[in-house]
Amino acid sequence: MKKLLPLTFILMLFQGICAQTTTTSNAAVFDGDNVVGSDPIVEFGKASNGGTYKFSSKISGSGGEIHHAFYDANNLARNSYVAYDTANVITYSGINGGYFYQLFDLPNGTFMSLTNSKSQLVIGADVAWGASHKFIVNSGNSFFDGNVGIGTESFVDANDNLEYKLSVEGKVRAHEIKVYTTWADYVFEDDYDLPSLEEVEEHIKTKGHLKDIPSAKEVDENGIEVGEMNKLLLQKIEELTLYVIEQNKEMSIMKAQLEALESKKECVSESKR
């Protein structure tokens, strides 16, 4: 699977040019299609430390893997490309050795690895040297079709067995959160079964919490859904409003009755005079 064509083409072109030349005496010789030496190397020149900049190209292994590599003056492979029968691998190495970037083109997908702990990935801006963020998107929108986990690799809640697009192991803060959910105006419909205050009192005595509201134990075990919980709290506020309206009606009747009694009392007092 040879998908990395631009780099492969350049390296093959370079190899073709070198195939018509002879390198320095201490390196391999390219002569047409024949290569003299088990590890053919082209030397570019000497560095101030006496080292030599080199390019190596060879075929090795039982599968005939193609290897291309550039070496710095300290004989470290700084840029290498390996083409297998079913994979391609591009590697960039640091000045002190070790990989800091690798790109794998494999049958099951393409993978990029930044192995240095100080690595940064910056999109839409110049390299932010010294920035504390590992991943920076300077402008534009970011789209994630799959799930996103922060501090966790689990996206399925063990309590409801549902898969969530965003899972966070830790605290989340924001100035504002907008939630789309159903609302509790059904409380004001004529056929709503409003429990009596006696029923509410009995439920509290028996269950230890309001009807339709989860208990502290349930919340501790399962958490709460913000939208659903706000709807239930509004339901209770609307029920309280209905109780207050009903009590206000009863108080108005009692007030009228009291005023009638007071008026009757005054009439009786005047008649006795």
How many residues can be counted in the chain?
273
The secondary structure of residue 188, as a DSSP letter, is: G
Mean pLDDT value across residues 195-211: 95
What is this structure's pTM? Answer: 0.59
Q: β-strand 166-168 against 148-150: which pairing, if any?
A: parallel
Q: Where are the domains of the chain?
A: 5-117, 147-173, 174-271
Q: Which two tokens stand for residue 265?
A: 């009392």
Please give the Cα distance from 250 to 45 (Å, whole number): 103
Tell me which residue of 20, 24, 88, 17 sits closest to 53, measured CA to CA. 24
Q: Each residue of 70-87: pLDDT tens digit?
A: 888 777 778 888 888 788
Please give the Cα distance from 84 to 59 (Å, whole number): 10
Please give the Cα distance from 179 to 184 (Å, whole number): 15
Most confident of 43-47, 102-106, 263-267: 102-106
Helix, strand or coil for residue 257? helix
Q: CATH class for domain 5-117?
A: alpha beta
The secondary structure of residue 163, as a DSSP letter, is: B
Tell me which residue of 45, 69, 22 sits closest to 30, measured CA to CA. 22
Q: Each residue of 125-146: pLDDT tens digit?
A: 776 565 678 888 888 888 899 9
